[in-house]
Amino acid sequence: MKAHDGMYIDGAWRPAASGETIDVVNPVDEQVIDRVPAGTAADVDTAVRAARAALPGWAATPPAERAARLAALRDVLVTRKDEIAETVTAELGSPLAFSQAVHAGVPIAVAGSYAELAATHAFEEKVGNSTVYQEPIGVVGAITPWNYPLHQIVAKVAPALAAGCTVVLKPAEDTPLTAQLFAEAVDEAGIPAGVFNLVTGLGPIAGQALAEHPGVDLVSFTGSTAVGRRIGATAGAAVKKVALELGGKSANVILPSADLAKAVNVGVANVMSNSGQTCSAWTRMLVHRDQYDEAVELAATAAAKYGARIGPVVNAKQQARVRSYIEKGVAEGARLVAGGLESPSPQGYFISPTVFADVTPDMTIAQEEIFGPVLSILRYDDEDDAVRIANGTVYGLAGAVWAGEEAEAVAFARRLETGQVDINGGRFNPRAPFGGYKQSGVGRELGAHGLSEYLQTKSLQF
Ligand code: NAP
Ligand code: MG
């Protein structure tokens, strides 16, 4: 994939308003691999106007035709699967096999699910003497992070297009090449000009301009709590709908009846995957005190096997941030049983897969999102204690429960203040609603629930 030196606006690659550029860096070797234009408020304005102009036509397009365009988009993504994986690997640093299976594979599944949902969703229903129409909210401003660069884009753009909305996307500055590739795919899929627009650029400049633009009807943001809070405040002041996905500190609760080795090994793999840069990662493992020492040993052994194979974190700033959390863990008295500050590679933004034991619920590493390959193992006395610890953070995005019997795990999961729980290692479902309780965010993505975020209702009475 060769970088474009323009913005994809109104169906064509157009020159950016300013000559500023952003360097794209490969986190494995720290080399600059490409440059993309740094968009400004002027580019955002052009893009929003294009999206607004395209809105009436796309909103009036029959859902079956929108579905056909989304199916075409999915097919282009399938055709370009290898290129997607290589691009994500180049700018995010994730191992190629993971990029193929997850970074390319999941967005294809999600795009396919919205091709189907657009065709089958009831955009109209009868309620007594009324007909209720579900209509697109309008122009969507989508702001996405780098951790799952294509998935985060598709999880917003596909439902928005299925709903009949038009979109302006501001992707993360670290992963703009994947976003440009997506724009090429949209173009190839025959989605009409102006329905999807891309402005690459920096968050505080292009991102902020998009979030504040009066021509945007809904802002959908995924990223840090600090930025999300600001975007929520801006949207609130403008009486604009907002969707926020802000990360988590999810608990992996291993009940005494569970298969301990399996639960620990899957739990460690979950945290190390994507170098720990997953908002729903189970970064707190909760183990009964009688099984605690055995679990710690199993986890330390499992983590040590990963080494540099997990890939680096995305950039130098994230590397420094994750290291500072490791230092804080040690300083607050947690016991390092795997990994630590030493990098497994002389070059690149690597962090050693790290496991802390003797972590108590009040420690910083048990409360804050680290966003790196760092696992904290906590001890609980009984089930009530486990529920209290699991629910004892400001977040509530995801979690896991392991037990001998599914029913026992389900009963426990129902007590968790969180949006998703995997039971005994349940598989990822691209149609299940994804989103947070508490400060993990507002709104849901994926599946039918994700589609309804982009719809508003109109009732006609007869
Ligand atoms: P971030 O700054 O919140 O980035 C997310 C997106 O928002 C990016 O596109 C970013 O642009 C943009 N942005 C930044 N400032 C903005 C502003 N003032 N107005 C509008 N948009 C703005 O997150 P980050 O700095 O990449 O990562 C920091 C931490 O956030 C991580 O360590 C992690 O804890 C959390 N995080 C969570 C998720 C998640 O999935 N929930 C994903 C990534 C990060 P730029 O790329 O130019 O900054
Ligand atoms: Mg940032």
- Claim to verify: residue 321 and residue 453 sit in the same structural domain: no
Inter-CA distances, 107 with 18, 84, 217, 433, Å? 32, 10, 25, 15
Best CA proximity match to 173, nearest among 48, 18, 37, 81:
37
Alpha helix ranges (H) inside 61-173: 63-79, 81-92, 96-98, 105-120, 149-163
Give residue-wise pLDDT tens across range 440-458. 999 999 999 999 999 999 9
369 lines ligand 1 (CB under 6 A): yes
Ligand nearest to the CA of 226: 1
Please name the residues in contact with 379: beta carbons below 8 A apart, sequence gap of 6 or more.
286, 287, 288, 289, 292, 358
User: Ligand 1, atom 18: nearest CA belongs to which residue?
Assistant: 204
Average pLDDT over residues 225-251: 95
- Per DSSP, the chain holds a count of helices (H) and strands (E) of 16, 20
Query: Is the beta carbon of 43 within 6 A of some atom in ligand 1?
Result: no
- Above 90 in pLDDT, residue 2? no
Examine residue 422 and state whether it is found in any structural domain, yes or no: yes
For residues 341 and 384, state if they share a domain. Answer: yes
Residue 299: half-sphere exposure toward Cβ, Cα within 13 Å: 37
Contact of 304 with 353, CB cutoff 8 Å: yes
Q: What is the position in ligand 1's atom list of the atom closest to the CA of 226?
A: 3
134 phi and psi angles, rounded to 5 deg: -100, 115
Residue 321 sits in the same domain as residue 454: no
Q: Is 453 part of a structural domain of the chain? A: yes
Burial annotation 348-366 (CB, 10 A radius, 16+ → b, else e): bbbbbbbbbbbbebebbbb
Sheet holding 12-15, edge to edge: 12-15, 6-9, 196-198, 166-170, 139-143, 218-222, 241-245, 441-442
Domain that residue 360 falls in: 251-430
- E-only strand ranges, 174-213: 196-198
Question: Which residue of 20, 168, 227 sits with most ligand 1 atoms within 8 Å of its CB, as the best mutation to test the pocket?
Answer: 227
pLDDT at 398: 98
List the one residue out of 189, 193, 227, 242 whose CA is nearest residue 58. Answer: 193
Quote the ligand 1 centre to 256 CA distance (angstroms). Answer: 38
258 C-beta closer than 6 A to ligand 1: no
Looking at the domain assignment, is residue 381 inside a domain? yes
3-state secondary structure of 4: coil
Would you state the pLDDT for residue 222?
98
Q: Which of 353, 384, 386, 382 is nearest to 284 (CA)?
A: 386
Same domain, 318 and 347: yes
- Across residues 236-251, what is the average pLDDT? 95
Closest residue (by CA) to atom 7 of ligand 1?
Answer: 203
Ligand 1: which atom is nearest the Cα of residue 146? 43
- Specify the pLDDT at position 303: 97
Question: 319 with 381, same domain?
Answer: yes
**Measured from the CB, is residue 141 less than 6 Å from ligand 1?**
no
The answer as to whether 237 is a domain residue is: yes
DSSP 8-state class, residue 334: P
| Strands (DSSP E) found in 11-79 | 12-15, 21-26, 31-37
What is the rounded average pLDDT for all residues in the chain? 97
How many structural domains compose the chain? Answer: 2
Domain contains 291: yes
The answer to whether residues 71 and 126 belong to one domain is: yes
- Look at residues 231, 275, 265 and name the one whose alpha carbon lies nearest to residue 402: 265
- Between the CA of 117 and the centroid of ligand 2 the distance, in Å, is 33
Ligand minimally distant from the alpha carbon of residue 38: 1
Instruction: Give the span between the Cα atoms of 456 and 137, in whole angstroms.
Output: 6
Residue 393 CA neighbour count, 13 Å, CB half: 29
Phi, psi of 370 (to 5 degrees): -90, -35
Give the C-alpha separation, 459 to 210, whole Å: 31
The CATH number for 59's domain is 3.40.605.10
* Per-residue burial over 36-50, b = 16 or more CB atoms within 10 Å of its CB, e = otherwise: bbbbbbebbbbbbbb
Both 283 and 218 in a single domain?
A: no
* Whether residue 27 has pLDDT greater than 90: yes
382 and 285 fall within a common domain: yes
In this structure, the number of other CB atoms found within 10 A of the CB of residue 191 comes to: 22
Over residues 133-185, the pLDDT tens digits come to 999 999 999 999 999 999 999 999 999 999 999 999 999 999 999 999 999 99
Q: How far is the CA of 97 from the centre of ligand 2 (A)?
A: 27
Rounded Cα gap, residues 91 and 425, in angstroms: 30
CATH of the domain at 273: 3.40.309.10
Residue 1 lies in a domain: no
Share of the chain above pLDDT 90, in %: 98
Residue 435 lies in a domain: no
What stretch of H or E contains 11?
none
Residue pLDDT, tens place only, 368-415: 999 999 999 999 999 999 999 999 999 999 999 999 999 999 999 999
pLDDT value of residue 307: 85
417 confidence band (pLDDT: 50, 70, 90): very high
With a 6 A CB cut-off, is 38 part of the ligand 1 pocket? no
Ligand 2 centroid, distance to 52 Cα (angstroms): 27
pLDDT digits (tens, 9 = 90+) for 43-53: 999 999 999 99
| Among protein residues, the one whose CA lies closest to atom 26 of ligand 1 | 145
Residue 411 shares a structural domain with residue 275 = yes
| pLDDT surpasses 90 at 1 | no
Q: Are residues 444 and 426 in the same domain?
A: no
Evaluate if residue 308 carries a pLDDT over 90. no
Domain for residue 78, yes or no? yes
Assess whether 245 carries a catalytic annotation.
yes
Question: How high is the pLDDT of residue 360?
Answer: 98
Tell me whether residue 279 is one of the annotated catalytic residues.
yes
CA 70 to chain centre: 20
Clarify whether residues 81 and 36 are in a common domain: yes
Mean of the pLDDT values across residues 225-243?
A: 95
Q: Give 235's pLDDT tier (boundaries 50, 70, 90).
A: very high
Burial status of residue 382 (CB atoms within 10 A of its CB: 0-12, 13-18, 19 or more): exposed
Across residues 193-212, what is the average pLDDT?
A: 98
Same domain, 205 and 341: no
